[in-house]
Amino acid sequence: MRLRALLDTDALGLRLLGGENELDRTVRGVMTTDLRDPSRYLSGGELVLTGLAWRRDAADSEPFVRLLVQAGVVALAAGEAELGAVPEDLVVACARHRLPLFAVHESVAFATITEHVVRQVSGERAGDLAAVVDRHRRMMTSGPAGGGPDVVLDLLGSDLDLRAWVLSPAGRLIAGSKVSGPALPADTCAALAAEHLAATRTGRRGPHRTLLDGTTYSLFPIRSWGHLPAVAGGGRSPQGARDVRETVLSDWLLAVEADAGDWPEERLDLLQGVTQLIAVERDRRDAARTVRRRLAQEVLELVQTGAAPAEIAARLRVAAPVLLPGLGAAPHWQVVVARVEWDGGEVEGGPVAQSLLEEILVDPLATGPEPSDRIAVAHTGDEAIALVPLPAVVAEHDGSESGIHADALLEAVRAPLAAGLDDDGRVTLGVSAAVHSAEGLRGALEEARHARRVAAARPGRVCAAGHQELASHVLLLPFVPDDVRRAFTARLLDPLRDYDRRHRAELIPTLEAFLDCDGSWTRCATRLHLHVNTLRYRVGRIEQLTGRDLSRLEDKLDFFLALRMS
């Protein structure tokens, strides 16, 4: 806003004392101070309000005004409440340095002037930012992105003082403003993503507001145009035109540290423009994955149709430079299989699982600040299959001690995904061991599929299993029919449960501890804080009630399996 506009506002009651020729200066902020040297708190373009408490005598005016001018202040407004009138020495000093000077009547509060200036400046900044955003949108739509979402978030921070971040549906931090300060902690990102996905599943329109650790955030959906169905005229239909479950696990979100509930319509429209701009960048990144998706689809078809290993190896040699540029040597590979299933089955799960795998595998091995995007994911039916390249040095020990681990894969994203799945969806994943040749790829695919079936047999909305579990009893237990499971556990454990219930004994906990201590009397007694003779009595009672002998390996194994299946 211009200084001249302040004089034209009767409610402010300002009286000009000097600087008539400088009234076209632009005011970019306001500051109230009575410090003798406020320059370290000034950045230029401010209207300074002062009650003159810094002035002890006439000699103080000249250095005070000189410091303001050197800091780039556009005008000074002095209150009359303290001295009854603005001192002449201050008027002279301002005239000497060509600094416009206003007198503020004692009936006008500095807060009134501050509120007026901030409101006007913020409105103008929002208009300027909207123009910049529109210009940036046109640049990104017609050509390569000019800095990506970070540039837009920097504008939000510098021009509107809004701290904002772009997050993936799994809670990964994709972009943040440099003026937003330190990056959001991973647990905060995950919690915000979970809140957003839960609200999205209810069908409520954004932005969604949430309070987290005493801070209010507004969550704006970033709806990718590439995920919307085409309509007549070449445009795209609104998000509500298709099932929200098709995009809830793939769309990004914009998290703003502010309460958008009382924002004017103009600011909400501006933020919607920002989300559309970021959506353009999202579509670009999706388009960049086209080559990797096609490579994965070709390799998958060769593997599943029984092609010769030499033919598969040739295709992998083509894929390796794309997925691991600069390595120069053929990598090892891991296979990850995912399935997303919804109750009713009306939503195709393959594309959803593909987007999800691309999201949670985007940074499986990155060690630097930028995420690695090297994986290739194909989908067939309701199943998505990822080929994950591992540098040979990382894949030592055939992947058993390095590479991607099933438990770690879902640890950070379990809460957001569960919120997005709500009560009608499931995600199950299986991870193979690392293989170093085309001959091993078919086995790795089958291994990952078996591991996924083990995960699917477990309770919970989000489950994963790794290749290590395929050499364990856990591979067999999920596939035991329910009636066989119930009969087996009842025959062995019901007598102990009945005894514990009638006598308030602890035979079941004693049995679990005894097996966990490998049948060691001393270690088990120590763990349970019992005398060894008391432990021997309890074990004897278990053997008497069940007709089994806990010194025999077969009976120990039966009890172990019964406890695992109960």
Q: Are residue 413 and residue 525 in the same domain, yes or no?
A: no
Confidence band of 52 (pLDDT split at 50, 70, 90): very high
Residue 131 forms part of a structural domain: no
DSSP letter string, 81-110 = TTTSS--HHHHHHHHHTT--EEEE-TTS-H
Domain boundary among 272, 287, 302: 287
CATH label of the domain that carries residue 441: 3.30.70
Q: Are residue 41 and residue 169 in the same domain, yes or no?
A: no
Output the pLDDT for position 44.
83
Q: Which residues contact 470 (CB under 8 A, 6 or more apart)?
A: 447, 450, 451, 454
Tell me if residue 481 falls in helix, strand or coil: coil
Residue 396 forms part of a structural domain: yes
Higher pLDDT, 233 or 503: 503
Q: Are residue 344 and residue 437 in the same domain, yes or no?
A: yes
Weakest-pLDDT range from 64-78, 140-154, 256-270, 450-464: 140-154
**Structural tokens at position 114:** 């501050």
- Tell whether the model's pLDDT for residue 247 goes beyond 90: no
**Structural tokens at position 185:** 């902690």
Q: Are residue 275 and residue 296 in the same domain, yes or no?
A: no
Output the pLDDT for position 460.
84
Q: Are residue 265 and residue 196 in the same domain, yes or no?
A: yes
CATH label of the domain that carries residue 172: 3.30.450.30
Residue 307 forms part of a structural domain: yes
Q: Are residue 152 and residue 276 in the same domain, yes or no?
A: yes
Please give the backbone phi and psi of residue 13, each rounded to the nearest 5 degrees, phi first: 60, 35
Domain housing 17: 3-108
Residue of 174, 197, 289 lying closest to 247 (CA atoms): 197
Residue 22 forms part of a structural domain: yes
Q: Are residue 298 and residue 444 in the same domain, yes or no?
A: yes
Tell me if residue 544 falls in helix, strand or coil: helix
The DSSP symbol for 233 reads: T
Residue 323 forms part of a structural domain: yes
Report d(CA 17, CA 77) in Å as an integer.
10
Q: Which residues contact 401 (CB under 8 A, 6 or more apart)?
A: none
Q: Are residue 98 and residue 191 in the same domain, yes or no?
A: no
Report d(CA 132, CA 150) in Å as an integer.
14
Radius of gyration of the chain, Cα coordinates, nearest whole angstrom: 34
Output the pLDDT for position 322.
65
**Structural tokens at position 145:** 């992105």
Residue with tokens 């390095």: 402
Number of structural domains the chain divides into:
4
Torsion of CA 503, 508, 513, 517, to 10 degrees: 120
Torsion of CA 347, 353, 354, 355, to 10 degrees: 90
Q: Are residue 445 and residue 347 in the same domain, yes or no?
A: yes
| Dihedral sign (CA 285, 287, 288, 291) | positive
Tell me if residue 332 falls in helix, strand or coil: strand
Output the pLDDT for position 267.
79
Weakest-pLDDT range from 215-219, 336-340, 411-415: 411-415
Torsion of CA 353, 354, 357, 362, to 10 degrees: -150
- Averaged over 430-441, what is the pLDDT? 83
Report d(CA 377, CA 353) in Å as an integer.
9
Residue of 430, 410, 421 lying closest to 461 (CA atoms): 421
Weakest-pLDDT range from 75-84, 252-261, 427-436, 468-477: 468-477
Output the pLDDT for position 137.
52
Output the pLDDT for position 282.
78
Report d(CA 251, CA 520) in Å as an integer.
54
How do residues 113-168 score in pLDDT, each as one tens digit? 887 887 776 655 555 555 555 555 544 444 444 456 777 787 777 767 788 999 98
- Residue pair 410/464 in contact by the 8 Å Cβ criterion: yes
Report d(CA 166, CA 276) in Å as an integer.
12
CATH label of the domain that carries residue 90: 3.40.1390.20
First to last CA, the chain: 73
Confidence band of 506 (pLDDT split at 50, 70, 90): very high
Higher pLDDT, 273 or 506: 506
Residue 403 identity: G
Output the pLDDT for position 7.
84
Residue 134 forms part of a structural domain: no
- Residue pair 100/75 in contact by the 8 Å Cβ criterion: yes
Residue 394 Cα distances to 269, 331, 411, 436, angstroms:
48, 9, 21, 12
DSSP letter string, 107-163 = TS-HHHHHHHHHHHHHHHHHHHHHHHHHHHHHHHHHSS-SSTHHHHHHHHHHHH---
Tell me if residue 23 falls in helix, strand or coil: coil
Tell me if residue 75 falls in helix, strand or coil: strand
Q: Are residue 170 and residue 268 in the same domain, yes or no?
A: yes
Report d(CA 372, CA 302) in Å as an integer.
26
To 10 degrees, what angle do helices 532-546 and 507-516 make?
110
Q: Are residue 336 and residue 455 in the same domain, yes or no?
A: yes
Return the percent helix, strand and coil in the chain, to nearest 5. Answer: 50, 15, 30
How do residues 361-396 score in pLDDT, each as one tens digit? 875 444 333 444 567 888 887 889 988 877 654 444
CATH label of the domain that carries residue 530: 1.10.10.2840
Residue 118 forms part of a structural domain: no
Residue 115 forms part of a structural domain: no
Q: Are residue 376 and residue 389 in the same domain, yes or no?
A: yes
Residue with tokens 């208009």: 127
How do residues 528-566 score in pLDDT, each as one tens digit? 999 999 999 999 999 999 999 998 888 888 898 888 777
Output the pLDDT for position 397.
44
| Dihedral sign (CA 356, 362, 365, 366) | negative
Domain boundary among 108, 125, 155: 108
Output the pLDDT for position 480.
65
Domain boundary among 287, 308, 337: 287
**Structural tokens at position 564:** 């695992």
